[in-house]
Amino acid sequence: VQGGSKVAKGVAGISLKEECDVGGSLAVEVAAKKGGILKNVELTKRVATIGKALTLYCTRPELNFTFAILDNPTINAYSSPGGYVFVTKGLVDSCANDNQLAAVLAHEIAHVTRRHALKLIARNETMKGVAEMGSAAGGSGLYVPDSVISGALQTILEKGFDPATEFDADKHGTLLAYDAGFSPRTLRDYLDGLSKKGDDKPFSTHPPTNHRVERLDEYMKESRMISGD
């Protein structure tokens, strides 16, 4: 029983190195399944420069974020634990300016800093069993089985997070963008624009776009980022 208690605490408190190891494994799979990394120095530098500027204001400065563009024409973005953030070529093309790109990157950074994918992995019963075996054997490392990686990958690429998690990333991403000097309305306006053009279909794993826009309007007014008029 004592061992089980320690395991529960240990899984909930995955170390930074373990988080980066798990995230790296997921990132490789995300890139492989979504077109691979786009080899365009100019665009990659643009994304990385904006992303790194945002991370200066994030709540987890200990993370060394990595930004990349996926060679994929659809409009989407992904992230994995440890600081790996991907945007598709289609999404970059859909952004009218750097402010919109920053808004999307801030949303993905929020997924990482809020540990959304990591919490899913930590709740996985298979991983708890593996952690328990490692604890009993006196091991200090954390081995994550392929089944856990596969489950997390399915959530990131196919199922998506639950609505509450996506709303949380919208909220904290908007706050991050605001703290970094970008307009807090940008994510809201970007999503609204995609919805009106019918280009938000790749976000079908997210809550309905109009609900996200409404939530962002409420949050910005409550936090006084924008006028309530």
- Report the range of poorest mean pLDDT among 30-39, 106-115, 199-208: 199-208
d(CA 106, CA 176): 6
pLDDT (tens digit per residue) in 127-161 = 444 444 344 334 445 555 566 677 778 878 888 88
Crossing angle between the packed helical segments 163-179 and 116-123, to the nearest 10 degrees: 150
Mean pLDDT to the nearest integer, 198-207: 75
pLDDT of residue 15 exceeding 50, the answer is yes
d(CA 59, CA 46): 22
Tell me how far CA of residue 98 lies from CA of 3, 49, 128, 225, in angstroms: 50, 10, 42, 20
DSSP 185: T
Give the pair of three-digit tokens for residue 59. Answer: 């709540």
Instruction: Please list the helix, strand and coil fractions of the chain in percent, rounded to the nearest 5, in that order.
Output: 65, 5, 30
pLDDT at res. 29: 92
pLDDT at res. 199: 77
Residues in the chain: 229
Question: How big is the chain by its Cα radius of gyration, in Å?
Answer: 18
Mean pLDDT, all residues of the chain = 84
pLDDT at res. 141: 53
Give the pair of three-digit tokens for residue 9. Answer: 């605490």
Mean pLDDT to the nearest integer, 200-225: 87
Reduced to 3 states (helix: H, G, I; strand: E, B; else coil), residue 86 is strand
Mean pLDDT to the nearest integer, 58-81: 96
The amino acid at 150: S
pLDDT of residue 122 exceeding 60, the answer is yes
pLDDT (tens digit per residue) in 37-60 = 999 999 999 999 999 999 999 999
Q: Which residue has better confidence, 229 or 157?
A: 157
CA angle 34, 35, 36 (to 5 degrees): 105
Mean pLDDT to the nearest integer, 108-125: 85
